[in-house]
Amino acid sequence: MSLEPIIQATDLSFSYNGVPVIEHISFNIEKGDYVGIVGPNGGGKTTLLKILVGLLKPQTGAIKIAGKDIKSSNAFSCIGYVPQRVAMENSSFPATVYEIVESGLLAKKGLSGNSTKQDKDRILQALEEAHIIDLKDRLMSSLSGGQRQRVYVTRALASDPQILVLDEPFTGIDMASQKDFYTFLKDLNINKHLTILFVSHDIDTITQEIKSVLCLNRGLFCYGTKEIIHAENTIEKIYGKTITHIHHSL
Q: Where are the beta strands (DSSP E) in 158-211?
A: 163-167, 195-199
Query: pTM of the full predicted structure?
Result: 0.85
139-183 tens-digit pLDDT: 998 988 888 888 999 999 988 899 999 998 877 777 777 888 888
104-145 tens-digit pLDDT: 887 766 655 567 888 899 999 999 988 899 999 999 989 888
> 178 CB contacts (<8 Å, ≥6 apart)?
146, 170, 205, 250
CB atoms within 10 A of CB 111: 6
| 8 Å CB contact between 149 and 135 | no
Instruction: Report which of 167, 179, 218 is spatially closest to residue 36, judged by C-alpha positions.
Output: 167
Q: Is 37 helix (H, G, I), strand (E, B) or coil?
A: strand
CATH dotted code for 7-239: 3.40.50.300
User: What residue spans define the domains of the chain?
Assistant: 7-239
